[in-house]
Amino acid sequence: MVRRVHDKAFAHRVAEATGWVPEPLRGGIHVLEPAELIDPDRALARIARAVAEGPVFAGGRFTLKPRWGTSARGRVAGALAGDGTLVGQGGEDAAALRGALGRLAERGGAILEPWLERRGDFSTQLHVGEDGVTTLLGTLEQVTAVSGSVAGHRGTVDSHGRVTSGSRHDETLREAALALTLAAREEGYAGPCGVDAFEFEAPPGGPWLRAASELNARFTLGTVALATVRRALPQLRGELGLSPGEHFHFYFALDAPSPGWPDPTPGAGCRVSLAAEGDALRPALWVERDPEALDRVLGPAAD
């Protein structure tokens, strides 16, 4: 069951059926089955044709994602050269792409997508009970490293522990995530899940939101972030006076910035250490009344 709904092809097909594929990407995303990747020559020829017919704004650049993977692992980037041949991300020949096809086949196939200029990443956390009751736990903004892996999450929390991403996309994130999660429930899935989304630049107009990018049929780092914020709620009420009608801004980080954690704003911020004695990493929950105080440490922490 997890293999079926965690498959990126499942999320894409549900997004197509429910209208959650943004206009610039319609017709530009392709599902590649494992059997299609076994013959490298045929696979590369199909990829080249699809990229040539794809969105002009991508300039022939593309990404191959494993259909069953997490945290950007196993992705392969490439481009279509002017002579119609495929080249690797750094301009080398297609040898790297050719070598990756077998690995992608072993991981359930691939999703071929145009390369996108991302502007922000988001996550919606949900839970499907054994009785089918689906609970929306919260939305978050993901803080990503240059590699694409998640470095932490940020968002807002009110005095009742309700967590939102704090972005203008919040309602859209919830609606799209429910569409994917309810489709997974219809397949028979029960348990925790997270739906990834991201904002990107592309004509016409923009920026655009790909609100139903992937469904992670498992506990995610976002689940941990939400739980950590809610466990800290009594401390936030006591130290910061978080009261009804207010909300504070937080950053849940897997490690400290290279200079170390600065001091929180006196009387308006606090830092909850999540590290055990002897840990090499220094994870923490940083909470501030003013989001600009978080911004001052967020950039270095995400590098």
Domains of the chain are 18-115 (3.30.1490.20), 118-302 (3.30.470)
Measured distance CA(155)–CA(164) in Å, rounded: 6
Question: What is the reported pLDDT for 253?
Answer: 93
The predicted pLDDT at position 91 comes to: 61
pLDDT of residue 71: 65
Task: Write down the pLDDT at residue 263.
Answer: 87
What is the structure's pLDDT at 282? 92
Report pLDDT for 115: 94
Q: How far apart are CA 172 and CA 19, in angstroms?
A: 12
**Mean pLDDT split into 10-residue runs, the chain, 303 residues:** 94 97 96 95 95 94 89 83 82 79 93 94 97 97 79 94 96 98 97 97 91 95 95 92 93 87 88 90 93 77 46
Rg (Cα) of the chain, in Å, rounded? Answer: 21
Residue 177 contacts residue 192 (beta carbons within 8 Å)? no
Angle between helical axes of 95-106 and 40-52 (0-180°, round to 10):
100
